[in-house]
Amino acid sequence: MVKNFMLHSLLSKKSPPTEQPTLWLAPMEGVIDFIMREFLTNFGGIDHCMTEFIRVVDQPISDSVFFRDVPELQTQGKTAAGVSVTVQLLGSDANWLSQNANRAVELGAKDIDLNFGCPAKTVNRHDGGATLLKSPDRLYQITSEVRKKLPAHIPLSAKMRLGYENPEDCLENAAALAAGGVSHLTVHCRTKKQMYAPSADWTWLKKIRQKIQIPLIANGDIFSVADFKKCQDLTECDSFMIGRGALQDPLLFVKIKGLVEEDAQISSKSIQDFFRANCAVSPHFAQARTKQWLKNMTGKSEKMSAAFEKLKVITEPANFEQELQLLFEKSLQG
């Protein structure tokens, strides 16, 4: 794990500006699991996290699955760094979503988010994720039923893309979710059809705000401090969610908050710690996840790019760990 001394030395570089945005680490299935949440929140700057989606079909999710995917349920819904973790559910059956949301709360969840943005074919084919954006009535029906049956003090939020095909559908979809009782709404500013291109169109946020009163979280394509400032100016939002940008640059959150210089980078030791933390699952898993993360960082850091080139061809975790150690020793020599 990232050591606190490292965090303190990073944070001591600059004094924070007074007014800070609220920053969310985006949920990313197959990437932002418990270990990654622990890791990224330890670097600082993140105010809230969300779990990868937990798929709800027509049965209860077992407690062991909840605890496996969200170990933070056992620590007051927070990561070790004290950052809150929202449980995200994905499905279309209001009754089963509701039952599973309530079970998550009984197990320790402090809030629940519903996923209406997932573009994956298998998910959409089974009536989940972004396909529901074709029907504001269903968005309303699902959220209102889940809201009605959740304890009143537990916030229910939603995360959506603009629409399935038409971006302008975001206005009706957001209105349906707000009417259904969600307390805040994250908007990934693309349609399902757009997948990840063209660029996110942040201008929709202001138009949505003219329609509904609940707080909005702007999401999509924040990869740098400059992107963040542009998004902030265009949307006038207070809250922002960052996914892929956090993988490329784990210090993006503290950079946005002005707590470190923009050229600050994480150390090779952090990569070694990440690998070791993932070994708790299995050495091969650790190797795959470490390669995945390094690959993400290649665009932003020459150091990580060079490390990825060396490490990507290694197939044996023991050799992989040895090479990580060598890289770490080399980095100590400057």
Ligand X SMILES: Cc1cc2nc3c(=O)[nH]c(=O)nc-3n(C[C@H](O)[C@H](O)[C@H](O)COP(=O)(O)O)c2cc1C
Selected range binding ligand X among 113-121, 135-143, 204-212, 259-267, rule: CB under 6 A: 113-121
**Cβ proximity to ligand X, 96 vs 253, nearer residue:** 253
Catalytic pick from 49, 118, 189, 237? Answer: 118
If one asks whether residue 52 binds ligand X (CB under 6 A), the answer comes out as yes
Query: Which residue in the set 24, 34, 39, 53 belongs to the binding site for ligand X (CB under 6 A)?
Result: 53
Cβ nearer to ligand X, comparing 195 with 306: 195
Give least dist CB 261 to ligand X, A: 22
- Nearest CB to ligand X, comparing residues 27 and 128: 27
Nearer of residues 190 and 268 to ligand X, judged by Cβ: 190
Residue at shortest CB range from ligand X: 243
* 245 interacts with ligand X by CB under 6 A: yes
Name the DSSP class of 216: E
Alpha helices (H) along the chain? 4-11, 34-42, 63-69, 94-107, 121-125, 136-149, 169-179, 204-211, 225-235, 244-248, 252-256, 268-278, 283-297, 302-311, 317-332
244 sits near ligand X (criterion: CB under 6 A): yes
Distance CA 49, CA 46 (A): 7
Catalytic site includes residue 118: yes
Contact at 8 Å (CB) between 93 and 126? no
Return the exposure string of 79-98: e unless at least 16 CB atoms fall within 10 Å of the residue's CB, then b.
bebebbbbbbbbbbbbebbb
Q: Which of 44, 128, 163, 243 binds ligand X (CB under 6 A)?
A: 243
End-to-end CA distance of the chain: 22
- Can residue 235 be called a binding residue for ligand X (CB under 6 A)? no
249 binds ligand X per the rule CB under 6 A? no
3-state SS class at 84? strand
Q: How many helices (H) and strands (E) does the chain have?
A: 15, 9
What are the residue numbers of the active site? 118
Interacting residues with ligand X (CB under 6 A): 26-31, 52-53, 88, 115, 117-118, 159, 188, 219-222, 242-245
